[in-house]
Structure 1
Amino acid sequence: MKNIIIIGGGIVGLSSAYFLQKEGYQVTVIDKSDITSGASFVNAGYITPSHIIPMASPGKIAQGIKWMFDSSSPFYIKPRWDIDFFKWSWYFHKSSTAAKVEQAIPVIKDINILSRGLYEDIKASGDLGDFHLERKGLLMIYKTDAAFEHEMEVAQKASFLGLEVAELNKSQLETIEPDIKIDAKGAIHYECDGHMSPTELMPKLLAFLKSAGVQVKTKEEVLDLSVSNGKISTIRTSNGSYTADEIILAAGSWSGILSKKLNIKLPLQAGKGYRINVPRPLGISMPSILMEASMAVTPMREFTRFAGTMEFSGINTTIRKERVLAIANGAKNFYPELEITQEEIADAKTGMRPVSPDGLPYIGKSKDIKNLTFATGHAMMGWSLGPATGKLVSEIMGNKKTSMDISAFAPGRKF
């Protein structure tokens, strides 16, 4: 049976390991961290079939340029000289057309629906014991008519595709979320969505994989990859070297850097997000996106999480105080009686999301290197798409018919 190395221990890498070990493969996961932090731990925990519009959409670049010099804005691009970023931006611009978005919508919906079912299957299997997984849906809460009209366009597309959507006025919003005051006109309720607690699931998934015989190498950085006869022959790390029949590149925002070592151009940029956890009862029971604040609110098992912002400033873990405060202020704007403490703000964490230029992930075999498969570039949907990506990777490894058409995710696609 094939020996497979997965580079990257986030939700995508661990989900890939989960489905591969089920098929009987020998699996090793290598991660440069201790797998207790990063995007898979600080995200909003959403399972989002409703997020059918890719980030690369009409008007996004103009919005980004407008916000470029406001470092507290929801979509912030740090001005810098970076050739890779310029190229990525040009591809992003080319992808931001109405026609490209229409092509992407059904593909994004299908992979999200696939993943939602797989999370439910994992829970039903009992492999990880009990973990938080709810299907209450997601509220898109709005204050202005402009936000409502924008979201209604998305809601109509989602409804047309068969997703369950409802429109809530102010009193209906108060009925569905009775225990906290909300300053808003109403909400669109995507009943098709679900939510989880990532900080609970990740350790359980990791523990299960180890018990199932998956080798997990933490605090071990991949430094170089050697190629011979069109295949990766050796992986050199900070601790030694490895060989494998197949390599899965699931290194999130670092995937582009590792691809360069293989002379593969993988357009990818790190989009930094932030989170604040509030471990007190707040009366918030529904996962919500506060539209004008461009931020997410998720009631998780041990706290309520406020998360958001997309910051393109390269790969770094610098926490910009003004961006954290923008999240706290955005929450206060919608929940006027909410007080997030200075301690909670000071405990903010960050994570890097890997963003492709067209908002679709890279899932599939490399056209340049025979034993390399990509599983990265999921942008803000990494958590939502983890299991689907893992399942697709296991099908690719077994040369099986994939659960859905993955041609739109081709790593070598033209932008």
Structure 2
Amino acid sequence: MSKNVIIIGGGIIGLCSAYYLQKEGHQVTIVDQSNLDAGASYVNAGYLSPSHIIPLSAPGVMKKGLKWMFNSSSPLYIRPRLELDFLKWTWAFNKSCSANHVKKAGPVIRDISVLSQQLYEEIKTSENFTAHYDKKGLFMLCQTQKLLDEELKLAEMATDLGLKAKGVTPKEIKELEPNVEIDVIGAAYFECDHHTTPHEFMKDMITHLTNCGVTIYTNEKVEDITVKNQNISSLKTNKQTLIADEIILAAGSWSSLLSKKLGLKLLLQAGKGYRINTEKGTGITIPAILAEAKTAVTPMNGFTRFAGTMEIAGINHNINKVRVDAIADAAKRYYPNVELTQLEKDDAACGLRPVSPDGLPYIGKSKKCKNLTIAAGHAMMGWSMGTATGLLVSEIISNKKPTLYLNPFHPDRKF
């Protein structure tokens, strides 16, 4: 049965949800507070990475976070503040930082990431998208033995989960990446990973959805939500009142703010990440993560992107020059012949990634609201999980059996 569906949020999750919903014959409207040309879906590293099987909430992360709390250039920066939501999230995050959680989360993250890879390829082929898509794998480049040992162990774990990964020596790295100097002692090479140029896919998807009759309201903010008998009866934006059969909350880091209007306790924190682009020829052809610096490197269509940091400091788009410089410095340490200019650093942009306490997204319906489906909290994996999340949302709305087991993603799960 065709339904009238409103999606709050026009990032990768919202667009992919709209894509599969309209294919099922539903009438879809997207409402986004931006102009659909900025944010996490546009400044991310573009990875489709089944290799990222370890959630952010892993053993030792909170300890590192406390250690780095007073270092604004550290890869993970958690700004302490006396806010109840932040304190609740921190408590739940700390509880999730266990080996048992990592063991349970690994297969879950693998399954949704592998499915997403397949769906990206299907969409690109079936809809004739021109967006850049490449299958070069991913290096985890290491300059210290400690990190190399950790990454090789992770590669073994990935292999045990059926993913293609192996360790590579500096000589083997040079054979795979001959046109750039790389200063490392070795790497883990995840051949299972793919990469894209995000803004190209977003542009293709927006054009396709518009051509298919999806209504998209930009620069329009949802200001209030009316609920009657555990159903959302209307949405009030800064421009109009909207009514629908089903509502999808895919507003990224803003999802927790909107969920409060529904009486939901959706624990989310905004994790700011930065990107620097250079159009100079770098010689880099294979994506990489600089292990010690936690910086991502992606050869995109016409430029190379350096991205990274996780700054949990509330919802804001302030550019911290110290953190931008840290990314540029890391690029120089690992790629000695790559020099990012001051102009390129001044052009740095940021995006806010919605981080759940256990590193798994919220996908599904809460008991508190019958016609609301939540699709948020993907942290650094929103791009990797975007298409699969969209498919799952469509299956929920269409009352179909979900392709994946949804319990690990339940919005009402306990921490």
TM-score, normalised by the number of residues in structure 1: 0.99
Q: Identify the residue that residue 117 of structure 2 maps to in structure 1.
A: 116
Q: Identify the residue that residue 233 of structure 1 maps to in structure 2.
A: 233
**How far apart are 1:83 and its partner, in Å?**
1.3
Q: Identify the residue that residue 327 of structure 1 maps to in structure 2.
A: 327
Alpha-carbon distance between aligned partners in 2 of 1:238 and 1:249, rounded to the nearest angstrom: 17
Alpha-carbon distance between aligned partners in 1 of 2:338 and 2:69, rounded to the nearest angstrom: 29
Matches within 5 A, 1:231-310: 231-310=231-310
- Answer whether contact 1:44 1:307 (CA < 8 A) is retained: yes
Aligned-residue identity in percent: 56
Q: Identify the residue that residue 38 of structure 1 maps to in structure 2.
A: 39
Matched pairs, number: 414
**How far apart are 1:203 and its partner, in Å?**
1.1
- The letter of the residue matching 2:409 is F
**Which digits, 9 at most, give the CA deviation of each residue in 1:195-240, with x for residues without a partner?**
0000111111111101100000000000010000110001000001
- Answer whether contact 1:128 1:208 (CA < 8 A) is retained: no
Alpha-carbon distance between aligned partners in 2 of 1:410 and 1:301, rounded to the nearest angstrom: 36
- Answer whether contact 1:6 1:27 (CA < 8 A) is retained: yes
Matched, 1:223 2:202: no
Gaps of 5+ in 1: none
- Answer whether contact 1:56 1:357 (CA < 8 A) is retained: yes
**Which digits, 9 at most, give the CA deviation of each residue in 1:306-346, with x for residues without a partner?**
00000011000000000000000000000111111110000
Q: Identify the residue that residue 6 of structure 2 maps to in structure 1.
A: 5
**How far apart are 1:17 and its partner, in Å?**
0.3
**Which digits, 9 at most, give the CA deviation of each residue in 1:177-203, with x for residues without a partner?**
111100001111100000000011111
The SS at the match of 2:206 is helix
**How far apart are 1:302 and its partner, in Å?**
2.1
Alpha-carbon distance between aligned partners in 2 of 1:272 and 1:165, rounded to the nearest angstrom: 29
- The letter of the residue matching 2:389 is T
Alpha-carbon distance between aligned partners in 2 of 1:329 and 1:228, rounded to the nearest angstrom: 54
Matches within 5 A, 1:300-379: 300-379=300-379
**How far apart are 1:394 and its partner, in Å?**
0.6
**How far apart are 1:74 and its partner, in Å?**
0.5
Q: Identify the residue that residue 20 of structure 1 maps to in structure 2.
A: 21
**Which digits, 9 at most, give the CA deviation of each residue in 1:101-152, with x for residues without a partner?**
1111100000001100000100110x25322111111110101110011112
- The letter of the residue matching 1:12 is I
Q: CA RMSD in A?
A: 0.7
Alpha-carbon distance between aligned partners in 2 of 1:128 and 1:379, rounded to the nearest angstrom: 29
Structure 1 runs of 4+ aligned residues shifted over 6 Å read none
**How far apart are 1:166 and its partner, in Å?**
1.8
- The letter of the residue matching 1:362 is Y
Matched, 1:165 2:190: no
**How far apart are 1:79 and its partner, in Å?**
2.4
Q: 84-93 or 147-156, which moves further after superposition?
A: 147-156
- Answer whether contact 2:123 2:129 (CA < 8 A) is retained: no
Matches within 5 A, 1:60-209: 60-125=61-126, 127-209=127-209
The SS at the match of 2:130 is coil
The SS at the match of 2:42 is helix
Q: 225-234 or 74-83, which moves further after superposition?
A: 74-83
TM-score, normalised by the number of residues in structure 2: 0.99
- The letter of the residue matching 2:39 is G
- The letter of the residue matching 1:168 is V
The SS at the match of 1:308 is strand
**How far apart are 1:100 and its partner, in Å?**
1.2
Alpha-carbon distance between aligned partners in 2 of 1:262 and 1:122, rounded to the nearest angstrom: 34
- Answer whether contact 2:4 2:27 (CA < 8 A) is retained: yes
Gaps of 5+ in 2: none
- Answer whether contact 1:128 1:205 (CA < 8 A) is retained: no
